[in-house]
Structure 1
């Protein structure tokens, strides 16, 4: 099942799917993100995990543009405890080629790595290989 989240103009900002054969959720972020889109996307993951328990997340920022550091407080304080309570244990992050996206995810990794297994990767294949080994 694929869930597509769209902005008010109809453009897609996130696709999320549960990959049954790999036993992970693959989230593909597209374009610029806001606190609202990140909260909606994060709560979509949470709902998926509650319906289909799964310990792994493949968070794909290859097509993400810009910063999202304004959402890192919410991710750290609200989303991380909720997602861990729902069973998430391993978080493979494909880093954006955009420097501002890289800075944002590095800040997030620093904030939550003591709570959740989060590793950053430059390409999708490396992230998938790491998740398979978990």
Structure 2
């Protein structure tokens, strides 16, 4: 079994690919400021636990406006994730207009283009595994 479920919430499933060493965070449904923070704190916990250097952050199936969390993601969560050993992160854009804009804002606030965003999960995975 290559994918192991690490944690599951109503709005987020965390899976770990034990062969390719990445966490796949599969978000779904309507997001709020609270679910965004809770979800990213869970992701951080499992990045540390698994000593995982890569994250595929899949927003494909989420909805809602959470742009108010973009600054927190870029200036609080992301530096802590780097300190925890995160080396590479790719994000899959949501199909929902407002959630896509929220993701775009969060990615734009991370300095130096350290987060790459894609329209399709497979393209994001290929980019994550490159190098």
Q: TM-score, normalised by structure 1?
A: 0.88
CA distance in 1, matches of 2:117, 2:75: 20
Where structure 2 has 5 or more consecutive residues not aligned to the other structure, the ranges are none
Where structure 1 has 5 or more consecutive residues not aligned to the other structure, the ranges are 6-11
Is the 8 Å Cα contact of residues 66 and 100 (structure 1) preserved in structure 2? yes
What whole-Å deviation, never above 9, does each CA across 1:71-117 have from its counterpart, x for those lacking one?
11221221111111001121111101111111111111110042x62
Alignment RMSD (CA, Å): 1.3
1:119 corresponds to 2:123: no
Q: TM-score, normalised by structure 2?
A: 0.90
Over 3 Å off, 4+ runs: none
Query: Who is 2:8 aligned against?
Result: 4
Superposed displacement of residue 23, structure 1: 0.7
What whole-Å deviation, never above 9, does each CA across 1:26-65 have from its counterpart, x for those lacking one?
0011111111111111111111111111111101111101
Query: Who is 1:32 aligned against?
Result: 30
Number of corresponding residues: 127
Superposed displacement of residue 14, structure 1: 0.5
